[in-house]
Each structure stands twice: as C-alpha cells, then as structure tokens.
Chains A and B, each alone.
Chain A
C-alpha cells in the first residue's frame, strides 16, 4: 500500500481512493521523507481502511508520528459529516479515552531544582501512583464517581483539588458538555471509581523538564520567560473506566453495525454506528464521561504535583508560579465546525493519538490564548525531550490537528529484548536524568531508541504548516508508570 502513495507536497503523501476497494476519500500522510520511509507498513493498511468509513470527509489523515495501532493507526484523524450518515467508531478514539498531556509552569530554574531533584522525583513517585491496577487517594462511592464523570475537572475544583483558572486552561473547560452517566455500565464504574489521581503505565509518565525557548514572544505569552525555567509535564488518561466504556460499546457496535445499519468494515476494531443512531448517541454520551474522567484524573495529579513542590521548597504553589499552560486531549471524537471547500460544516472529528491544534481566533480557545492559537503539548520519549507548539491558521488542512508525541518505531516485545530497565536507569542518571519506575521491563519498553526522533516529528508538523514550535523541553527527572 505504501508504494501506491504519491508525494503531493514536500511533506504530504497521498494514497488515492482507487488503491483499495471501498475507499471513499484519499488517505493523506504528513511526514518528511525519512519519517514516511520509516513508518511500518500496517500504517498504510490502517489509514486506507479508515478511508472506507461512512461519512468521512476530504481525507483520512495520518500525522508525522503515525505508527500502527488497532483499527485506526496511532496518529489517525477522520472527520465525519454527521448529517450525511457519518459514523462514530470507538476504534477511532482508542480504549484510553482522552489520554492527554498537561503542562505546568514553575518559576524555578534548573540551578534551583537540581539539588532537590531526587527528593522531588521520589516524592512524586510516592504521591502519584503508577503501574498495573494502581489506585488513588480520592476515596469516593460509585455513585459519587458517576458525578465525577459528568462534571470532570469541575468536580475536582469543588473538592479543593486545584485552582479555578485550571479549568479555563483545559480543553472544554475541563468538562465536556453532554456526558451522561446513565450510558455507562456498572463494570466501567467498578474499574474507575478508585483510580482518580493515578498515572497508569505503558507510555504514561510524569516529567520534570528544563525549558529551551525557541520563540521568545510566544513562549512569554505562555508563561515561559526565565532562562533554564523548570516545568512539569505529564501524560495519562481515563484509566480502567475509559477502557471499559470503549470495550462495552465496541461490542454493542459489533452487534448492530451490519445487521441493523448494513455497514461492513475491513477490521473489526473499526466497529462503528451512525452518529445519529441510538447506539451512536449512547456511545457519544458515554465516551464524554471518559473524557471527563481523564480531565479529573489529570486535575488531581496536578494537585499532588503542587503539593509535592510546595513541601519540598517550603513555599506555596502560588508562590512557585505553578500555573497550568494547558491540557490537551489525544484520544477523542468531538463535534466541531470546520470550513470544507468554502462551506462551514459540523463534523465529528476523530483524533486517535493526535492533538487538536486550533489556530488563532477559533472558538473554544481560552480568552488569553485566542489571538495566539492553541498551545499543543508534545511528549517525547523520556530520553529525547518534548515540545510546546502552537496551532496555526494553515492547520485548517488537517481539521486543526497535529502530532501527539514521538511515535514508536519498535514493538514493546522487541524493545524488552534490546534494553534492560536497570541499565537504562543508570545510563540516564549518568546524563543527569533521574528516573523512577514501577516496572523495569516497562522502563525498557519506553527506551528512547524505541521511538522516532521527536525533533523530526515536530519539524515535519511545522514544515507542513499544521503547527509551530515554541519551546523545547529536556528531561531532568521522570516518574514512569
């Protein structure tokens, strides 16, 4: 399938609809030549499968960090016209609904943090539980949890886990409208009600980083102004709750997709239903509960981070300037207004391992960022670094979407054979990066060598005109799930 792709721009490759039976639109891959060549073959199969989904508009898109997933590739984007039979698919969102990133400032410099680095990482490791089946400190009933998933981070602020301004600096104000807890199963509640404030594992992490400013004016507007300023970035999602919501509806859609709606798909993981069907609407309302659980999870983790910094430095979080820059979602489907061929239309935009990157002036941005564009937080591997980008007007070509991370190049199983967790920890420590992990093998699976070069990925997004670099971050300390 890769061989059928034509290069239609310096950083855009297109597979025409004639490449596979049933494709309704072309598939477009955003990448430099190197990134394109290095993508695994399954990416091309998967993104062309996405192009067959009913109601898809313009293109099935794959971002520069694309790699093979299940159903959609990671980095896959599909916008559906919900007025024309467009579908909603859990496989286009992922099991970890609203897995996302949050970036938090401090007014500390590397020189001030370095002497306390081990203490900070050790305390964060204690205070933000990570790993298989971990549970959090927020003890609530299953009934109260149903309120959490309808209210998201707003619930947390009411309980004292954060600042009012945190909501403004979270996508959807930390609470997406339309979440309906009557659409979620008891099993989903069982899997999530004791997991608020936990990282999980896999590629989830919490990192203390040093900022390297690339665009001083924009960086300043996002609060990064001091040379060698220290920030905290973390990546996690909706935990067992979101995973169960996706699992539940995957099975619902499998039952009705063909028999009731006559939809055939090329991979069962692309199970879907028309957006305006009862099943589609139920999943949309349940998936929004997953989005809100994830906002609540990251809000409580932020609260713990502020507590830890405050206790280590003997100053309040306010005094340490621990304001949020922003919180972005990776795995979602949202109704958005986009201009397509000169006409504004309401589209359901699936982003799976991809970040919304609204350009300047768009509705939905916090007032303070409206004229700048949306901050985009890109997490790299724990070895290579991360980025803060900003959305740009030309992002309209990808429904204002950009990459979400480095993107893997090597399977976890292969990475485990190549690296040893303890050795990796020692090597990182010799480079001044202090890492704590629940799992040695989990650490090995996340070795920098298993990922694409983050610099290549963000450069590709900038050169292709879908986002712009503002700040680069390098790791100082890391808690790995």
Chain B
C-alpha cells in the first residue's frame, strides 16, 4: 500500500506518510495506514458491515483529519475495524465534501492480530500537500 510508518518523527506516538496520484487515492491510503496501526494484516478484516461516511469541512486537510477520526470513532463506539475502498471528494458552497462507504467487521482478537490502540489523530506536523507526482499526507497518531 502507498503508505509508510516513519522511524523517527514521533518518539511516543506513531507517524506515517500516505500518498497517491490523486487526492482520493491519498485519502484511501491514509485510512489503510490507520487500520494497519491497529491490526497486523488488513486483509484479515472482512467486509461484513458497512458504514456510510458523509463529511464536510472548510479546509481540505481538516477534511482528511475528520475522515481518519471517524474511523477511530467506529473502532471504540462499535468495535469496528473498517477499510475504505474508495472515497468521492467534491466541493459544495465552498466547502470540501467527502462521501464514502467504509466496510469491515467487528474486531475479533482470535482472528485479527492486533497492534496498538489509536487514541486520536493529532494535528502535530499534520499536512496534506501536492507533490510533483500527486498528493502526500503526513499524520501523527496518538497511540
């Protein structure tokens, strides 16, 4: 997957970069990175339940922040591990919008090899920027 956990950016926490040729791919890659912070093998998460996501934010980077935060919310509120195969991004009245269908299943320690609980997405060094080959996000998770 187009993301990498970074060695020395966050001593206490967990930093990653995610990238893609398009913004949509970058959002999907960042969501996968959050899942991979919590489970060793994302393929072990079966698409059994679906949760629609409809989010808005004035700032594009904070739309990504809100999107990742939503996945963390479902991990605690419904014990769901979720993957996001694709997202649809747009703008409406000057506000950035995201629509997606997250799919996954209830976490099951007997089948999911768990890593570390993600507490939150932090805004420390948080960035979403265009690169010569597309887009790149840098995210530090509090774990």
A residues in contact (CB < 8 Å) with B: 40, 42, 67-71, 74, 91, 94-96, 131-135, 187, 190-192, 195, 200-202, 239-240, 243-244, 246-247, 250-251, 254, 267-269, 271, 408-414, 417, 438-442, 445, 481
Contact = CB atoms under 8 A, between A and B. Distances in A.
Interface in B64-120: 69, 72-73, 75-77, 79, 107, 109, 113-120
Given A67-B12, A201-B117, A441-B115, A190 B73 contact: yes
B23 interface: no
Contact of B114 (A190, A239, A439): A439
Contact of A246 (B12, B75, B115, B120): B120
B36 to A, nearest CB: 11
Given A131-B117, A132-B114, A133-B117, A70 B73 contact: no
Contacts of B76: 133, 190-192, 195, 239-240, 243-244
Interface stretch (B1-9, B24-32, B46-54, B129-137): B1-9
Given A132-B38, A201-B116, A271-B123, A187 B8 contact: no
Interface residues of B, number: 41
A60 B122 CA distance: 21
Contacts of A247: 69, 120-121
B73 A442 contact: no
A382 to B, nearest CB: 15
A411 B142 contact: no
Given A71-B124, A412-B13, A412-B14, A191 B116 contact: no
Contacts of A269: 122-124
B142 A244 contact: no
Interface string B13-45: 111000000000000000000000011100000
Nearest to B66: A251
Contacts of B40: 441
Given A70-B142, A414-B7, A439 B116 contact: yes
Contacts, number: 139
B123 A250 contact: yes
Nearest to B79: A133
Contacts of A410: 11
B119 A95 contact: yes
Given A70-B123, A95-B122, 6 more contacts: A42-B11, A132-B117, A200-B117, A412-B12, A413-B15, A417-B7
A293 to B, nearest CB: 13
A439 B40 CA distance: 10
A202 B123 contact: no
A375 to B, nearest CB: 25
A247 B77 CA distance: 15
Contacts of B10: 68-70, 411
B11 A68 contact: yes
B140 interface: yes
Contact of A413 (B6, B123, B125): B6
17 contacts: A67-B11, A68-B11, A70-B125, A132-B118, A135-B79, A195-B76, A240-B75, A243-B142, A254-B123, A268-B124, A413-B5, A413-B6, A413-B14, A438-B109, A439-B116, A441-B40, A442-B116
Contact of B107 (A132, A195, A411, A441): A132
Contact of B8 (A91, A191, A240, A414): A414
A200 to B, nearest CB: 5
A48 B35 CA distance: 34
B11 A40 contact: yes
Given A412-B14, A412-B116, A414-B7, A190 B77 contact: yes
B126 to A, nearest CB: 7
A190 B77 CA distance: 5
Contacts of A268: 123-124, 126
B124 A243 contact: no
A433 B91 CA distance: 57
Contact of A202 (B6, B8, B117, B126): B117
Given A95-B119, A191-B76, A69 B12 contact: yes
Contacts of B114: 131-132, 201, 438-439, 442
Contacts of B15: 411, 413
**Residue from the set A67, A70, A74 with the largest chain B CB neighbour count within 10 Å:** A70
A42 B108 CA distance: 37
Contacts of A240: 75-77, 119
